[in-house]
Amino acid sequence: MIALPDFPWDRLAPYKELAQAHADGIADLSVGTPVDPVPAAARKALAAAADSPGYPQTHGTARLREAAAGWLRRRHGVTVDPDDVLPTIGSKELVAWLPTLLGAGRGDRVVIPELAYPTYDVGARLAGAEPYAVDGLVAVGPERVPLVWVNSPSNPTGRVLPAEHLRKVVAWARERGAVVASDECYLELGWEDHPVSVLHPDVCGGSHEGILAVHSLSKRSNLAGYRAGFVAGDPVLVKRLLEVRKHAGMMVSAPVQAAMAAVLDDDEHADEQRGRYARRREVLRPALERAGWRIDHSTAGLYLWATDGTDCWDQVRGLAEKGILVAPGDFYGAAGRAHVRVALTATDERIDAVVRRLQ
Ligand SMILES: Cc1ncc(COP(=O)(O)O)c(C=O)c1O
C-alpha cells in the first residue's frame, strides 16, 4: 500500500463547526471553490451537446484543441500546435497522475515547490516516487530527477515567478533531461504582477521541448463542477500522455469538451469574473491589514497569504470565532506555519460580512 498523507481538510472540520455557529452564519474563505455563476456560453454549449451517445475522443475534438491554442495565443502570447493540446478531467487529475503517466517510480525524486498545492506531493507518492519540496534547484545537486513542478501564480502564496526565474528552471531541467510541468491554473489572475506562461518564447526560447503547461477552466470560467482542464506543450510528451490516457480511459465527456471550447473562445465572461475577484480583493486586503495581518506575496492568484505572526492554527481559531473560515498555512508545507490562506471565492455579501467582522 502506498502511504498517503491524511486528507488535510478533515483537520479543519472543528473550526468549520465553530464558524458555522456565528449568529450571522459562516463566511467560508477556506477552499478556493468558485461561487459565481457558470457562464452562459458554457451552459448553452453543454446543453447543445447533451445528445452525445458515443465515446468522446481522448485527444479532444479539433474544435476544443483549436480553441485552447487560440486562447494561449490571444491571451498569453504562446504559439502551440492544436495537436499538442490534450484535455484533462480538471487539472487536479493530471497533477495527481502526471508522475505515473511519465513513468516516474521508485528511487525517483519529483521536485515540488516548498509551499505548494498538496496534490504535487500526492502525485509523486502515487507513482511510488518521493516528493522533494525545495525552491532552489541548486539544493538538488547533480542527481537526475524525472520531473520538476512549478506553479506561478502560486497556490497558496500568490507569488509570481518572473520569466527569468522560469527560464533558469527550464535550462536546468533541459541540462538533466528532466520534464518541467508548470501549473498555470491562475495565469489570468495577475494583480500587481503579470504572470507569464512557461511556453512563452521569453521563457522557453521558442522550443517546447521538455515542457508541459497545465491549465484549468475551474477558476477562469467557474467550471470547477464540470471538471475541465488541459495540458499543452512538448509534442513528444503530449503524444506519450495521450497514448497512456487512451488505454486508461482518461477522457473528458463530450458535453464538457463543447463547454470548454465555448469558454476558451470567449474573453468577456473571464474579464467579468476577474473584475469580481479584483473588487473582493480590494476590500478584503485592507480589512485584514487594519485588523493586524500582514499580507505577503499575493500579487496574483485567488488567495491572500496572511500572517499576524502567531501559529497558523491560532489564527484559524481566532478567525473561526468571528465566523470566518480560512486555511492554515501548514496545509501547504511546514514553511507556512505562521500564515493563513484567505480565498477570494465568496460572494460579495459574504466578503462584506468578513470586512464588518474584522473591524
Ligand atoms: C495550484 C492548483 N493546481 C490545480 C488545481 C486543481 O484545479 P482543477 O482540478 O479544478 O482544475 C488547483 C485547485 O485549486 C490548484 O490550486
- State whether the beta carbon of 91 lies less than 6 angstroms from ligand 1: yes
User: What spacing in Å lies between the alpha carbon of 123 and ligand 1's midpoint?
Assistant: 13
| 121, 149, 155, best to mutate for ligand 1 pocket (most atoms within 8 Å of CB) | 155
Among candidates 152, 265, 181, 163, which has minimal Cα distance to 217? 265
Q: How many helices (H) and strands (E) does the chain have?
A: 12, 13
- State whether the beta carbon of 157 lies less than 6 angstroms from ligand 1: no
User: What spacing in Å lies between the alpha carbon of 185 and ligand 1's midpoint?
Assistant: 6
- State whether the beta carbon of 155 lies less than 6 angstroms from ligand 1: yes
CB 326 within 8 A of CB 30: yes
Distant-in-sequence, close-in-space partners of 280: CB < 8 Å, separation ≥ 6: 344, 346, 348, 351
Query: Residue 7 has what pLDDT?
Result: 82
CB 186 within 8 A of CB 219: yes
| Helix, strand or coil, per DSSP, at residue 226 | coil
Quick one: which atom of ligand 1 is closest to the CA of 228?
11
| Helix, strand or coil, per DSSP, at residue 162 | coil
160-191: buried (b, 16+ CB within 10 Å) or exposed (e) per residue? bbebeebbebbebbbeeebbbbbbbbbbbbbb
Query: Residue 139 has what pLDDT?
Result: 86
- State whether the beta carbon of 95 lies less than 6 angstroms from ligand 1: yes
- State whether the beta carbon of 116 lies less than 6 angstroms from ligand 1: no
Query: Residue 8 has what pLDDT?
Result: 82
User: What spacing in Å lies between the alpha carbon of 211 and ligand 1's midpoint?
Assistant: 19
118-150: buried (b, 16+ CB within 10 Å) or exposed (e) per residue? bbbbbbbbbbebebbbeeebeebeeeebbbbbb
Among candidates 338, 343, 285, which has minimal Cα distance to 314? 338
CB 287 within 8 A of CB 354: yes
- State whether the beta carbon of 117 lies less than 6 angstroms from ligand 1: yes
Decide the pairing of beta strands 303-307 and 340-343. antiparallel
- State whether the beta carbon of 127 lies less than 6 angstroms from ligand 1: no
Query: Residue 85 has what pLDDT?
Result: 98
Query: Residue 142 has what pLDDT?
Result: 86
Query: Residue 104 has what pLDDT?
Result: 97
- State whether the beta carbon of 152 lies less than 6 angstroms from ligand 1: no
Quick one: which atom of ligand 1 is closest to the CA of 92?
9
User: What spacing in Å lies between the alpha carbon of 225 and ligand 1's midpoint?
Assistant: 12
Query: Residue 315 has what pLDDT?
Result: 98
Among candidates 186, 198, 260, which has minimal Cα distance to 230? 260
CA 24 to chain centre: 31
How far is it, in rounded angstroms, from Cα 136 to Cα 85? 30
Query: Residue 5 has what pLDDT?
Result: 81
Strands (DSSP E) along the chain, which ranges? 27-28, 85-88, 109-112, 130-133, 147-151, 179-183, 211-216, 229-233, 294-296, 303-307, 324-325, 327-328, 340-343
| Helix, strand or coil, per DSSP, at residue 323 | coil
C-alpha cell at 63: 474544435
Q: Is the pTM of this model over 0.85?
A: yes
pLDDT means over runs of 10, the chain (359 residues) = 82 97 97 97 98 98 98 98 98 98 97 97 97 90 93 98 98 96 98 98 98 98 98 98 97 98 98 98 98 98 98 98 98 97 98 97
| Helix, strand or coil, per DSSP, at residue 47 | helix
User: What spacing in Å lies between the alpha carbon of 216 and ligand 1's midpoint?
Assistant: 7
Q: How far, in Å, are 42, 84, 100 from residue 240 at the CA level?
A: 30, 11, 12
- State whether the beta carbon of 301 lies less than 6 angstroms from ligand 1: no
CB 25 within 8 A of CB 334: no
Query: Residue 141 has what pLDDT?
Result: 84
Site of grid cell 500568490: 158
Quick one: which atom of ligand 1 is closest to the CA of 217?
11
- State whether the beta carbon of 285 lies less than 6 angstroms from ligand 1: no
Quick one: which atom of ligand 1 is closest to the CA of 95?
4
User: What spacing in Å lies between the alpha carbon of 134 and ligand 1's midpoint?
Assistant: 20
Query: Residue 52 has what pLDDT?
Result: 98
